[in-house]
Amino acid sequence: MNKSSETHLREANISPSYTRVMIYDYLKINHNHPNVDEIYKALCKKLHTLSKTTVYNVLKLFLEKDIARKVTISSSEDKYELTCEDHSHFKCKVCNKLYDIPLVKTEYSTATLKGFKVNNEEVLLTGICVNCNK
Amino acid sequence: MNKSSETHLREANISPSYTRVMIYDYLKINHNHPNVDEIYKALCKKLHTLSKTTVYNVLKLFLEKDIARKVTISSSEDKYELTCEDHSHFKCKVCNKLYDIPLVKTEYSTATLKGFKVNNEEVLLTGICVNCNK
DNA sequence: GTCCTTGCAAAGCGTTTGCACAGAA
DNA sequence: TTCTGTGCAAACGCTTTGCAAGGAC
């Protein structure tokens, strides 16, 4: 069990059960925006009694406590990642892989958004990735 | 039936059936990114025999022919809009309404995306809209 | 006749809910 | 005891699929 992951969970007011730490660590190590099924299948190897419901429960808790978020890219499956330093995403339309890329800066006139309070900016680039672009 | 909508469909190699024109017009008039159910319910009033399957079929065709696209914002329902001049989106986290806003410019270093071909950029701002921000 | 459009019904699949059981406090 | 974490099973909701009927050509 990872000490620092336990600490992160505690800081978010989540009691660090074994399962929760496992899921947290999985997200921490795997930056490939896994969906529920991928997390479930990967952790089943170590946690033989794990159920998908628990994965859903834990991820829901992580979202509520703001230590993880859904990455909603044009597809009907929910993907997840830990809330961390800002970055943007690139989605390859050939292989459908989703890449983390350095933060894309944005520029817009605040005048057109008068009265609107902006808390968050997300940028998604789509195109062809380096592997498919050959 | 709208003459110019018929033309748009023909230009996209879609034979302009009555139902297709109706759905196209609905998307053309309603810029509120409707989901399938909203389109279905709205058009049922005029097309009493309409089925959801047909709405799905037509939207799928529109996506294939690139005259419409899914707007995938963190929620599990698919929303649709016509492919048109570029704009960005603002999502209010209080009322969940999705606004069209003027195009947000982006800035990123092409060096970090060496080998990647970028075809499209999408920006989503989230926050509190003018109506909820009172 | 064939092809295209539409739509009912069923299946599929990801997700949520209800409930129960075991362990911790 | 109560509260918490987990997980089976069922329900749920959106979407897709299979297939058939009717119309266009």
- Residue-wise pLDDT tens digits, A16-39: 999 999 999 999 998 888 999 999
CA–CA dist A14, A3 (Å, integer): 14
Where on strand C do bases come within 7 A of a protein Cβ? 4-9, 14-18
- Residue identified by tokens 């505690």 is A10
Instruction: Kindly determine whether residue B73 and residue A73, on different chains, have CB atoms separated by under 8 Å.
Output: no
Give the pair of three-digit tokens for residue A53: 């419901």
pLDDT of residue A57: 96
Task: Give pLDDT tens digits for B79-95.
Answer: 888 777 788 999 888 88
pLDDT of residue B40: 96
Considering only CA atoms, which of A120, A76, A111, A27 is closest in space to residue B70? A76
Task: Evaluate if residue A128 carries a pLDDT over 80.
Answer: yes
pLDDT of residue A76: 60
Task: Evaluate if residue B71 carries a pLDDT over 50.
Answer: yes
State the smallest CA–CA distance between residue B15 and chain A in angstroms. Answer: 27
Task: Evaluate if residue A74 carries a pLDDT over 80.
Answer: no
Rg of chain A, C-alpha, whole Å: 17
Kindly give, in sequence order, each residue whose CB lies less than 8 Å from that of residue A24, ignoring residues fewer than 6 positions away: A5, A8, A9, A62, A67, A82
Instruction: Kindly determine whether residue B123 and residue A109, on different chains, have CB atoms separated by under 8 Å.
Output: no
Residue A131: helix, strand or coil by DSSP?
Answer: coil
CA–CA dist A82, A13 (Å, integer): 16
Task: Evaluate if residue B131 carries a pLDDT over 50.
Answer: yes
